[in-house]
Chain A
Amino acid sequence: MLFFSYFKDLVGQEVTVELKNDLAIRGTLHSVDQYLNIKLENTRVVDQDKFPHMLSVRNCFIRGSVVRYVQLPPDGVDVDLLHDAARREARGA
């Protein structure tokens, strides 16, 4: 549940979601659920030439299981806090 809680705190921030099919979508994180399904708003595609069909899309729902990476704003991450939380989670605390 760690990353679910973490992403909930990031709602409203700009993120880039990279899918396993190499599509990268930048947008505002609207919401996330326990499966890490992601809803983005104000989306724009990073590599528009490869995925022209996404140009007309402004809001989308991305299935959690197809996400490869979520790129976060550098000042949106407290690395030490996340590091400690992950370590605690690993220990089953």
Chain B
Amino acid sequence: MVVGLREFALRTGDGSPALDESSGEELMHVQPSVAVALGDRSVESPGTLYITSRKLIWLSDADVAKGYAVDFLSISLHAVSRDPQTYSSPCIYTQIEVVEDEDEEDEDEEESNGVLDLSKIREMRLVPSDSTQLDTLFDVFCECAELNPEPIEEEGEEENGHNWVFSADQMVVGGGGEEDAEWQISQSPTSVIGHSNGDESIAQPMLELQINDQRFDDAEEMVHENETKDH
């Protein structure tokens, strides 16, 4: 899957775009006489808009080598834009998801050395010469967006539900009632460090270590073995 806008020039004999029929891509709508404006650039025309079940394709009528395509997966937002003061002609306004480049200093830089980088285009306007078609185009865009949900890598999205929602009881690792026992620290001087869960054989070596091993004695004082220590 390609993120963002890209060039597209694959045409069939009748001038329509070549589709990926093996993946089930179908043509949903054709709108002739549509101009396209990328980013802040001026409008390009004349052209024909092809809406497939997977992507938008605009092919220039004048230049057979010129065309653009963007997957619906990359179209973040689309809307009908009608205010003549903001933009001269009513159009479909779209925002395109772009691969974020961390090295880029100027985010608006679409052209370097005069060559337009299509993958950095964030906004695109489609201006049909027949503006009564705008609502139809908007509806087709909605339909196609719904046909292209985010791909799911793991299986059973509906079975597992959202794995980001969980309750407090699910936070316990290796849960159960024994947790409290681990945290009890007995105050008895002959007790072991920690607490064995009923298995007293484990307790013995620890007891001996505490009482007999002089490595744990304080350096300055010679403390007798039987004296109470707080370890």
A interface, CB within 8 angstroms of B: 1-2, 19, 21, 23, 33, 35, 37, 39, 43, 52-66, 86-87, 89-92
Contact = CB atoms under 8 A, between A and B. Distances in A.
Interface of B: 75-83, 85-87, 93, 95, 97, 122-123, 138, 141-142, 145-146, 149-150, 158, 161-162, 165-167, 170
A70 to B, nearest CB: 14
Contacts of A21: 76, 95, 122
A57 B146 contact: no
A61 B93 contact: no
B146 A56 contact: no
B138 A61 contact: yes
Given A57-B79, A60-B77, A89 B161 contact: yes
A92 B167 CA distance: 11
B141 A61 contact: yes
Contacts of B150: 35, 64-65
Contact of A60 (B78, B82, B122, B170): B78
A58 B123 CA distance: 17
